[in-house]
Amino acid sequence: MALYSEKVMDHFRNPRNVGVIEDADAVGEVGNAKCGDIMKMYLKIENDIITDVKFETFGCASAIASSSMATELIKGKPVAEARELTNKAVAEALDGLPDYKMHCSVLAEEAINAALDDYFSRKNP
């Protein structure tokens, strides 16, 4: 069996929503101290709906695929729904990740939550 699903390979080779949103309403950056990988999420939010999302990931194939998939899953969604997104849901949407690569999808969940924390702290300083 191949190590990675076709979806993982597709999102790794052609990541969706890569880049920076200069006038983002929220930014979240997280890292994994063990592997040194870093993920940054930028959100554009209007009336509590995520209208745009971009990411920069310096990391492994699974981290890149996870961030790409995570952006697809939260784009156009209410912030409350994005808050509920788990790393498991990201991995499932990718048709699975090897067990020892599940922590890479955690980075995507954490980056979104860090960005949402930033959004709420800007809203209610």
Q: Applying CB under 6 A, which residues contact ligand FES?
A: 32, 35, 37, 59-60, 62-63, 104, 107
Q: Are 63 and 39 in contact (CB under 8 A)?
A: yes
Q: Are 87 and 68 in contact (CB under 8 A)?
A: no
Query: Which has the closest alpha carbon to 62: 112, 11, 1?
Result: 11
Catalytic residues: 35, 104
Q: How far is the CB of 52 from ligand FES (least distance, A)?
A: 24
- How far does CA 22 lie from the centroid of its chain? 18
Q: How far is the CB of 119 from ligand FES (least distance, A)?
A: 24
Task: Using the minimum distance from each CB to ligand FES, give the nearer residue, 24 or 63.
Answer: 63
Whole-angstrom distance between the N-terminal and C-terminal Cα of the chain?
A: 50
Task: Using the minimum distance from each CB to ligand FES, give the nearer residue, 52 or 56.
Answer: 56
Task: Using the minimum distance from each CB to ligand FES, give the nearer residue, 63 or 69.
Answer: 63
Q: Quick count: other Cβ atoms within 10 Å of Cβ 86? A: 12
Q: How far is the CB of 59 from ligand FES (least distance, A)?
A: 5
